[in-house]
Amino acid sequence: MKLRSSISGLALVVGLGVMVAGCGQVNQVRAQKAFKDANKLYAASDWRAAAAKYEEAIQLNPENAYSHFFLANCYDNMYRPTRAGEPANDALLAKAIDNYKVAGEKIQDPLWKRRSLEFLVSAYGPDKLNDPTMAEPIVKQMIELDPSDPGNYFQLAQIYENSGEYELAEQTFLKSKEAKASDPNVYMQIAGYYNRQGDFPKTIEFLNQRIGIEPNNPEAHYTVATYYWDKAYRDFRLKDAEKLDMVVKGIESVDKAIEIKSDYMEAIAYKNLLLRLQANLIKNPAEQQRLIREADQLRDKAEEMRKAKSAAAQ
């Protein structure tokens, strides 16, 4: 997890230069200058030089917790996962973790405290230290700080899932719904979990619950259709009658998406796929030909829309 530079983000970083306090007047001025200089180097992605300046600012004023955060992120950016095991490289991540911890403890602003903890969790993630036992209590702390943020539950559930603690993972995903039942992404995350576990009925149940809170969103209906097609097309354990039932339900869902948004190119293209699969699953030759003709028309329509969209973008 990297802190990405942006115009607004850099403005905030530079603006933090006024937050230096708690030291003698001479040191305060020197600390503030070092911090501002570090911010400029950070904005230019000169991580090594910025880290040196943040270190200087911390020496002059250890109470500026924001210096610890950006120092940690400099070391984090210098760390290379592909060189894990090399002492000098590993030391960078260790320094990043130490400073994220200080920032998380000292920063009072909720946004920046959360950001510090998020980066700390990332440092313990699969592409770095890969230590879920260290990440778990930090994410729990994040949940305590903001119980209404479902994203924290997603992170904790993912830690449990990756560790094979599937019951805890399921319970935590479901708690995200308790935290914010109005968030469509909650239902997508829970459905995704059940899909990874091979529980298709539960997957569809939560995709449909998402539709329940945003019935006029064509993408919600389209998503259900894609899951039905994928299951019917790829699961060779299913009987033809079961596949056909899923295809019919998929067509109903995609029709609803197109009803809401008549120029929904992706939905039109997917209905073409569903109709072709339906044709393969029935025995009536005349009906097969009718379905294929309709599928061809939809395919051509989707292609025309794609070309028109491409031309308009040029």
For 233-283, what is each residue's pLDDT tens digit? 999 999 999 999 999 999 999 999 999 999 999 999 999 999 999 999 999
Residue carrying structure tokens 């903001």: 146
Q: Is 1.20.1070 the CATH number for 215-314?
A: no
Measure the CA–CA gap between 267 and 224, rounded to whole angstroms: 11
CA distances from 286 to 88, 244, 282, 292, 293 (A): 71, 17, 10, 10, 11
- 55: closest CA among 31, 24, 91? 31
Q: Which residue has the higher pLDDT, 101 or 9?
A: 101
pLDDT digits (tens, 9 = 90+) for 185-242: 999 999 999 999 999 999 999 999 999 999 999 999 999 999 999 999 999 999 999 9
Q: Identify which of 222, 1, 35, 200 has the alpha carbon closest to the alpha carbon of residue 114.
A: 1
Lowest mean pLDDT among 13-17, 95-99, 102-106: 13-17
pLDDT for residue 313 is more than 90? no
Listed in order, the ranges of the chain carrying CATH 1.25.40 are: 1-108, 215-314
CATH 1.25.40 fits 1-108, yes or no: yes
pLDDT higher than threshold 80 for residue 4:
no
